[in-house]
């Protein structure tokens, strides 16, 4: 049986007080709508339809770029006349058979197992609603059941509910699954005879009851799956709930977090045994930490592989972007170091405070311990790269490479103007600016002779 998925993402999100469409506000580093679409990929739907409205072009271009391979199509809701009106826009894109699952783009943490449970409850022949019991159901549509509490008779929107109905704790989450052929007919029969003058999707429940279609309910595993976002405060609350859940999963797997309340994961983090992570660390993209890796406080790590036994000292920024960063086993990085895309470090490499490495490989045992820059460089084993030294890799138009052989010693405050090669065992005297290769095993010095001028005086300020 084919499955169609409709995601409602047309709302403006007035309470967000932002020019950005609500569904593009980020949770855990990615747009809320992206979370929902990513989850639906596990359901292997035949078609995926996103209903857009406010900021439609921005939403559509963002999702097309991120999910280029998905069976994704869009329908516009202009103007926005309610949830029922939103799903009506998908009618021309829906088949006449199978099941349609309706989700919300501003409810980002719905899980695939819960969505699958809803589709199974529908089974292509029932109207299945995702409901939950809330201590404070304010703002949600109430589930009205028969006298035995079994059959669902209706959903009453909060603004239309009478005092007795507002006491009901079971609420509709905005998500449902229905036989597609029946749903298309039910949507075409919606009216806007209500307090808001809108076409409510929830009115299809009354239509199902009238048609003798069984109305059933399914529940999520956790409340966080059905929490929607309508304000910055709600987004921040959901972010913290989500981050705590991710922290708990890591700790259950053996990762030691100094404070799970001060931890942020905005991607995927895989950890070996005995990994320690201090406070206020942020992990983005794809990050893998080997056994016994230690991450100091206030680090930001994105798209990187850090091998076993490496120590990342506090305030280090590792950004692999598309090219990635790799840190070899036993390496020591930071504090206050920066590893940029293409940094590939071998075993027991030392990168110290205020050292930046970009698009460079450092072989085993190489060290750059202070205030240095290595860009577009190939660095051999056991190199000692002095404080204040830089590779001048850019000539204003093109990048050039610096090659440093094994056992090279580069003194402090040196400038290596690429393209240039330092042979194995070469020594570069401190303060040198080199534009020619340095021979292997020799001392190369390039600096002017010191001159002292007797009787010279500093300029003095003239009295006013």
The 3-state secondary structure of 202-266 reads HHHHHHHHHHCCCEEEECCCCHHHHCCCCCHHHHHHHHHHHHHHHHHHHHHCCCEECCHHHEEEE
> Does residue 56 lie within any of the structural domains?
yes
Do 262 and 371 belong to one domain? yes
> Does residue 249 lie within any of the structural domains?
no
Judge whether 242 counts as a catalytic residue: no
What pLDDT score does 195 carry?
Answer: 78
What pLDDT score does 149 carry?
Answer: 61
Give this prediction's pTM: 0.90
Do 176 and 299 belong to one domain? no
Do 313 and 374 belong to one domain? yes
> Does residue 241 lie within any of the structural domains?
no
Domain boundary among 189, 208, 226: 226
What distance in Å separates the CA atoms of residue 337 and residue 317, rounded to the nearest whole number? 6
By C-alpha distance, which of 187, 153, 190, 186 is closest to 172?
153
> Does residue 177 lie within any of the structural domains?
yes
Q: What is the CATH number of the domain that holds 372?
A: 2.160.10.10
Domain boundary among 206, 226, 246: 226
What pLDDT score does 148 carry?
Answer: 63
Do 141 and 103 belong to one domain? yes
Strands 127-133 and 215-218: parallel
What pLDDT score does 437 carry?
Answer: 97
Do 299 and 201 belong to one domain? no
| Number of structural domains found in the chain | 2
Q: Which position has the token pair 């921040």?
A: 236
What pLDDT score does 105 carry?
Answer: 97
Do 193 and 263 belong to one domain? no
Do 113 and 46 belong to one domain? yes
Residues of the chain with pLDDT below 70 are 1, 147-150
Are 82 and 159 spatial neighbours (Cβ–Cβ below 8 Å)?
no
Domain boundary among 209, 226, 243: 226
What pLDDT score does 147 carry?
Answer: 65
Do 186 and 325 belong to one domain? no
Do 93 and 14 belong to one domain? yes
> Does residue 198 lie within any of the structural domains?
yes
Do 67 and 206 belong to one domain? yes
Do 198 and 277 belong to one domain? no
> Does residue 427 lie within any of the structural domains?
yes
Q: What is the CATH number of the domain that holds 211?
A: 3.90.550.10
> Does residue 240 lie within any of the structural domains?
no
Domain that holds residue 407: 255-444
Set 38, 158, 370, 409: catalytic member = 370
Do 171 and 281 belong to one domain? no
> Does residue 246 lie within any of the structural domains?
no
> What token pair was written down for 101?
């699952």
């Amino acid at each position: 049986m084919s499955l169609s998925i409709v995601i409602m993402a047309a709302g403006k999100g007035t309470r967000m007080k932002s020019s950005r469409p609500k569904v593009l506000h980020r949770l855990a580093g990615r747009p809320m709508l992206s979370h929902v679409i990513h989850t639906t990929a596990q359901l292997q739907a035949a078609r995926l339809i996103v209903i857009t409205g406010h900021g439609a072009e921005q939403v559509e271009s963002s999702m097309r770029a991120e999910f280029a391979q998905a069976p994704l199509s869009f329908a516009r809701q202009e103007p926005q006349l309610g949830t029922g009106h939103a799903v009506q826009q998908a009618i021309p894109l829906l088949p006449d058979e199978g099941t349609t699952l309706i989700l919300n783009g501003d409810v980002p943490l719905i899980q695939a197992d819960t969505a699958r449970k809803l589709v199974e409850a529908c089974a292509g022949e029932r109207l299945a609603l995702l409901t939950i019991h809330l201590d404070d159901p304010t703002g949600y549509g109430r589930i009205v059941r028969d006298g035995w509490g079994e059959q669902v008779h209706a959903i009453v929107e909060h603004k239309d509910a009478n005092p007795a109905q507002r006491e009901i704790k079971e609420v509709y989450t905005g998500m449902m699954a229905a036989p597609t052929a029946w749903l298309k007919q039910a949507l075409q029969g919606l009216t806007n005879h209500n307090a808001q003058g809108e076409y409510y999707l929830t009115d299809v429940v009354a239509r199902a009851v009238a048609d003798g279609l069984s109305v059933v309910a399914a529940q999520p595993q956790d409340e966080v799956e059905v929490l929607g976002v309508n304000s910055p405060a709600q987004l921040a609350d959901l972010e913290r709930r989500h981050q705590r859940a991710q922290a708990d999963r890591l700790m259950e797997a053996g990762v030691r977090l100094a404070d799970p309340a001060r931890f942020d994961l905005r991607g995927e983090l895989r950890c070996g045994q005995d990994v320690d992570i201090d406070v206020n660390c942020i992990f983005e993209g794809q990050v893998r930490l080997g056994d016994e890796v230690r991450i100091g406080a206030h680090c930001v790590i994105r798209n990187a592989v850090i091998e076993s036994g490496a120590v990342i000292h506090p305030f280090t920024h590792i950004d692999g972007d598309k090219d990635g960063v790799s840190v070899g086993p036993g390496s020591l990085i930071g504090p206050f170091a920066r590893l940029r895309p293409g940094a590939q470090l071998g075993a027991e490499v030392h990168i110290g405070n205020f050292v930046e490495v970009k698009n460079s490989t450092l072989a085993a045992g190489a060290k750059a311990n202070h205030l240095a820059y290595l860009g577009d460089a190939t660095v051999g084993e056991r190199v000692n790269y002095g404080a204040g030294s830089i590779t001048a890799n850019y000539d204003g138009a093109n990048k050039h490479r610096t090659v440093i052989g094994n056992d090279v010693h580069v003194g402090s405050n040196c400038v290596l103007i690429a393209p240039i090669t330092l042979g194995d065992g070469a020594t570069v005297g401190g303060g040198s600016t080199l534009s020619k290769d340095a021979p292997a095993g020799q001392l190369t010095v390039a600096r002017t002779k010191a001159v002292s001028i007797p009787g010279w005086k500093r300029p003095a300020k003239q009295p006013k």
